[in-house]
Amino acid sequence: MLSLFNEILLEECHGTVTVDNCSATEATTYIYLDDFVFTGFRLKTDLESWLIKDAPENINLYVVAYGSYLGFWNNLDSTC
């Protein structure tokens, strides 16, 4: 999955950004990349912990997943 994402980064950023050379210290946009979201619990706990402890202020955060299962409440609410 990271390999596919890296290909997209290279194409969209005209060969200047890769998964390996992204710098979180200067970033204003973050991407949570996952293959599939089932209950949404992992997504919620990962993001909640990071947002409370480590995330800088005033960022753009995108959640990208190949697919999801909408059978549980964690996936029905778009807020963390």
Give the domain extent around 29.
Answer: 2-76
> Distances in Å between the alpha carbon of 45 and those of 13, 48, 51, 61?
30, 5, 10, 15
- Which pLDDT score, from 0 to 100, does residue 59 have? 92
Residue 37: name the closest of 2, 74, 67 by CA: 67
- Which pLDDT score, from 0 to 100, does residue 74 have? 57
pLDDT along the chain (80 residues), means of 10: 88 86 79 88 92 92 85 55
Q: How many domains does the chain have?
A: 1
Residue 37: name the closest of 77, 80, 75 by CA: 75
Cβ atoms within 10 A of the Cβ of 12, count? 10
